Amino acid sequence: MKHVVLALLLVAACGHQRPQQSGDAATGGGDGSGTHDANGTHDANGTHDANGTHDASGNHDSALPDAFVPHDAPSGIISGGPCISGATGATGFRIRWANSGGTAYVVYERDGMPQGSGDRAGAYGQGQIGFTPQFVDPFLGEGGLQLDGGDFIDMYISTAGVTSISRATLSIYGRSYNTTTSGGFNWQSLDDVGQTPDDFVSNVAPYQWYSADMTTAIGPGESGYLLRVRAGGLSGSLVVNRVELCLVAQ
């Protein structure tokens, strides 16, 4: 399976992400449905190496974000505290998308990995140089990143220092960004790929947490682990306010 996913990840197309900032955690709700329709399909193209470097269309460095939220007091090997999604385990990594004049930028809320000081995330557009992540839906919910078409979220998460992972849960907080149709999401790494049912994420407000088991897609002791998340399902379009990785690990 690793050879199949590696082959799928050989073509990358990445844009630029906004400056990274830190913030608090807050959730809320809304009272309506969306007004955007963007059906789309996704392939598994795109890759990064273990240092977070893109191909010729752009690159990241591996520097620690300027205002990164420190670990909580350790409570086991994963020190990020309880998962606000309600998933079993402790928070390994959680980000939120915030608004700067209609542009979505990443806010780091928790990094509970033992050696996660360089963990980071961003949103990119396949085949788009100079891609600008869009912040949408600020009135029917908290708002968040528009994820559809060739867009994707890349998260670089070190599992170094972790010897075993018995359960891993990937959760998003948001909704399907479509007036009539529910949606879903999928994920891919060098370890495995997976997806939710096509109608997994409701298209109505208020936002909710949607959690999926991705245990087979993450392994222990990986210093350059890359997890890519895309919209999928019936709508092929999501608004994502938060992403959380929850782990039961040693």
Q: In terms of pTM, does the model score above 0.75?
A: no
pLDDT of residue 126: 87
Sign of torsion, CA 34 37 43 46?
negative
Which domains are delineated in the chain?
A: 2-249 (2.60.120)
Collect the ranges in the chain with pLDDT lower than 50.
1-75
pLDDT of residue 37: 38
Sign of torsion, CA 73 75 80 86?
negative
